[in-house]
Amino acid sequence: MDIEAPSFVMIGNSLKSDVLPVLELGSYGIHVPFHTTWEHERVDVTITDPKFFHAEKIHELRNLFL
């Protein structure tokens, strides 16, 4: 689709599979955790990237970029 990395955002419930890969590309990543996580999806990292956001519930996303 010829979209530059800084021009899109990934919203996902997995830090490992959804968020960390797009942060590495230079895109925005938003983590919205689910109440259960597969063991192979667990990561023990501190994310300091300014393009990383965390929301406890999906409805919080509308306030992130206003």
Please give the Cα distance from 62 to 44 (Å, whole number).
27
Q: pLDDT, tens digit, for every residue of 9-66?
A: 999 999 999 999 999 999 999 999 988 877 878 888 999 999 999 999 988 888 876 6
Sheet of 9-12, strand order: 9-12, 28-31, 52-54
Please give the Cα distance from 24 to 33 (Å, whole number).
20
Rg (CA), the chain: 12
At 65 the pLDDT is 67
> Model pTM?
0.84
Domain locations in the chain? 5-63
At 53 the pLDDT is 94
Phi, psi of 8 (to 5 degrees): -135, 165
